[in-house]
């Protein structure tokens, strides 16, 4: 039961962080303080870091196989982002597939870092 609680807490942190980020970036873009190109670069970097951080968190709470934990949380996060994209935009393109693979790798890498840092702390 603790494992499901950890996953739900990680997903809640993901959604809260994503919402705060979207609010800030939308406000800045609305007032033309940053260009569209800058928004896309910042969004890519932020999403990679957010996925890596979530993988790291779940990896630290995992007992073994941090890469699988990171992969699992990455898949769930991607599904959430896909659902939000379908609600607010349209069907993702092939370019989006590469984007999601990079995010999945970022989450998996975060899970590996999380489990390894946990083992080194013990």
> 12-45: per-residue pLDDT in tens?
998 999 899 989 998 988 888 888 888 889 999 9
Phi/psi of residue 51, nearest 5 degrees:
-65, -40
Model pLDDT, residue 24: 92
Model pLDDT, residue 121: 62
Please state the pTM of the whole predicted model: 0.85
Contact 115, 58 (CB under 8 A): no
The Cα–Cα gap between 74 and 71 comes to 5
The Cα–Cα gap between 64 and 33 comes to 45
- Whether the per-residue pLDDT at 122 is higher than 70: the answer is no
Model pLDDT, residue 105: 94
Number of domains in the chain: 1
The Cα–Cα gap between 96 and 100 comes to 6
Please tell me which residue, 61 or 48, carries the higher pLDDT value: 48
> 79-120: per-residue pLDDT in tens?
988 888 888 777 777 888 898 899 999 999 998 888 887 666
Residue range(s) defining the domain that contains residue 62: 2-121
The Cα–Cα gap between 23 and 11 comes to 18
Contact 62, 114 (CB under 8 A): yes
């Amino acid at each position: 039961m603790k494992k499901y609680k950890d996953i739900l807490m990680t997903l809640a942190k993901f959604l809260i962080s994503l919402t705060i980020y979207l609010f800030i970036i939308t406000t800045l873009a609305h007032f033309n303080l940053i260009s569209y190109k800058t928004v896309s670069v910042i969004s890519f970097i932020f999403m990679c870091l957010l996925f890596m951080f979530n993988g790291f968190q779940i990896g630290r709470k995992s007992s073994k196989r941090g890469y699988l934990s990171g992969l699992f949380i990455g898949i769930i996060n991607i599904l959430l982002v896909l659902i939000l994209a379908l609600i607010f935009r349209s069907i993702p393109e092939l370019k989006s597939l590469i984007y999601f693979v990079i995010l999945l790798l970022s989450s998996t890498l975060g899970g590996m870092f999380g489990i390894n840092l946990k083992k080194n702390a013990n």
